[in-house]
Structure 1
Amino acid sequence: MTLYYSLVFLLLVAEMALFMILIIPLPFNIRRKMFTFISESPIVAKLQYGMKITFIFILILFIDSVNRVYRVQVELAESKDMGGRTAVLGHERMEVQARKFYSQRNMYLCGFTLFLSLILNRTYTLILDVLRLEEKVKRYEGSPKAGGKQGEKLENAGNAGEIGRLREELAAKERDIEALRKQSEGLSKEYGSLSDKYEATLKDNTPKKDR
């Protein structure tokens, strides 16, 4: 097995392990914290972006392996049509059969890796939906443990880019509010200074009463 197909096999094993972790029955709080961490971690977001690029290369390998299987099938069909050279084609036929086996193995390996990636994505989405529904049920039932920061984070789970965008908007709003606060303080000081000057002017212009 070549290096890139060995890496694809390792990725398939990692996907199987991750799938087992997702379907393991865990307590609600632990599962909620785990998915909240996954949705907010910038490292996980970068890893997801890298995995998308990796799956594109795996898709190319899958298409190439399908093409190789098709060509081997054509060679086998042509060898069956040539019945007069059985002694010469014996070794060649074994070679073609070996190439057929390796091509089919690579095709199944890449195909199952891509298929399992879709299953993982769908399973992750379904688990997020279940957690949100459980959170809403606990809120409706009046559970004191429901809601809070973890519940709010869970509502935004599964979309790290959206969370980052909202955080940037919130930071920009806070900067605008801080700038308005400083401007208001400056205007307030200026108003106080003008009021003092106006009162001093009124005192200076007031005629003094004769004793």
Structure 2
Amino acid sequence: MTLYFSLVFALLVFEMVVFTALIIPLPFKVRRKLFNFISESPIIAKLQYGMKITFIFILILFLDSVNRVFRVQQELSAATKAEGAGRASVLGGGERMEVQARKFYSQRNMYLCGFTLFLSLILNRTYVMMLDILRLDEELKEYKGEAGGKEGKKLGNAGNAGEIGKLKKELEAKDRDIAALKKQAEGLSNEYNRLGDQVSPADNTPKKDR
């Protein structure tokens, strides 16, 4: 393995270690201090800038590896077709082993660079998600602290005063509607009883003999 691919492999191992450190369960205070140090440290900022440049070179190496794999595959396919057509062996045993070795190394370099780039994207996204989680946890704790204290309750009541007044008005209007319905029901019940009293005597009067 050449020097630059050895460096790519070392970077891949470093990314794996960092990813493990990000997802490992830690206490909230420790995690907050760690992420505050990462986000505020000027050394980390310079390191991130250098890593971006490094990933550009790794992308170039990845594209070169893909091109090499494609060319070796074309060479092997052409040799196989020539042998299948009944021609003499285009590649000898040693040459074929050399082509297979070049194919293997090209594929290894392609996978190495590809996984390094892919893991860098995962690390970036994981870091952003962890920052969002820490920010939401802090906001939740602040909200709970304000809601638990007396001042927080007063502020909450003051903030909801307009909404509470609106709900009270709606409740009063519904109470008035219920009272009006009760009056209508009582009026209908009285009218029904009155009509019942009028009809009952007429039904109970004895009929005269003719």
If the TM-score is normalised by the length of the shorter chain, which range does it land in?
0.5 to 0.7
Q: What one-letter code is carried by the residue in structure 1 that aligns with 2:36?
A: T
Q: What one-letter code is carried by the residue in structure 1 that aligns with 2:113?
A: C
Number of the residue aligned with 1:97: 100
Q: What one-letter code is carried by the residue in structure 1 that aligns with 2:102?
A: R
1:172-183 equivalent positions in 2, closer than 5 A: none
Q: 1:17 to 1:88 in 2, by over 3 A?
A: closer
Query: Would you say the 8 A contact 2:62–2:114 is kept in 1?
Result: yes
1:29 aligns with 2:32: no
1:192-203 equivalent positions in 2, closer than 5 A: none
Greater radius of gyration (CA): 2
Alpha-carbon distance in 2 for matches of 1:55, 1:76: 31
Alpha-carbon distance in 2 for matches of 1:8, 1:2: 10
Query: Would you say the 8 A contact 2:66–2:106 is kept in 1?
Result: yes
Alpha-carbon distance in 2 for matches of 1:85, 1:93: 14
Q: C-alpha root-mean-square deviation of aligned residues, in Å?
A: 1.5
CA displacement 1:75-124 (0-9 Å, x = unmatched): 00111012132385222111111000000000000000000000000000
Number of the residue aligned with 1:40: 40
1:139 aligns with 2:147: no
How high is the TM-score relative to the length of structure 1?
0.66
Number of the residue aligned with 2:52: 52
Alpha-carbon distance in 2 for matches of 1:71, 1:107: 13
Deviation at 1:133, TM superposition (A): 0.7
1:1-211 equivalent positions in 2, closer than 5 A: 1-83=1-83, 84-86=87-89, 89-142=92-145
Query: Would you say the 8 A contact 1:62–1:111 is kept in 2?
Result: yes
Structure with larger RCO (C-alpha < 8 A, sep 6+):
1
- Paired-residue identity, %: 73
Alpha-carbon distance in 2 for matches of 1:32, 1:87: 64
SS across alignment from 2:63:
helix
CA displacement 1:10-54 (0-9 Å, x = unmatched): 000000000000001000010001100111100000000000000
Alpha-carbon distance in 2 for matches of 1:49, 1:80: 47
Q: 1:26 to 1:80 in 2, by over 3 A?
A: same
SS across alignment from 2:145:
coil
Q: 1:88 to 1:29 in 2, by over 3 A?
A: closer
Alpha-carbon distance in 1 for matches of 2:42, 2:17: 22
Q: 1:87 to 1:126 in 2, by over 3 A?
A: closer
Q: Which runs of 5+ in 1 are unaligned?
A: 144-211
Query: Would you say the 8 A contact 2:79–2:91 is kept in 1?
Result: no
Number of the residue aligned with 1:193: none
Hey, which bits of structure 1, 4+ residues long, moved more than 3 A?
none
Number of the residue aligned with 2:173: none
Alpha-carbon distance in 2 for matches of 1:87, 1:25: 58
Number of the residue aligned with 2:164: none
**Between Structure 1 and Structure 2, how many residues are aligned?**
144
How high is the TM-score relative to the length of structure 2?
0.66
Query: Would you say the 8 A contact 1:79–1:93 is kept in 2?
Result: no
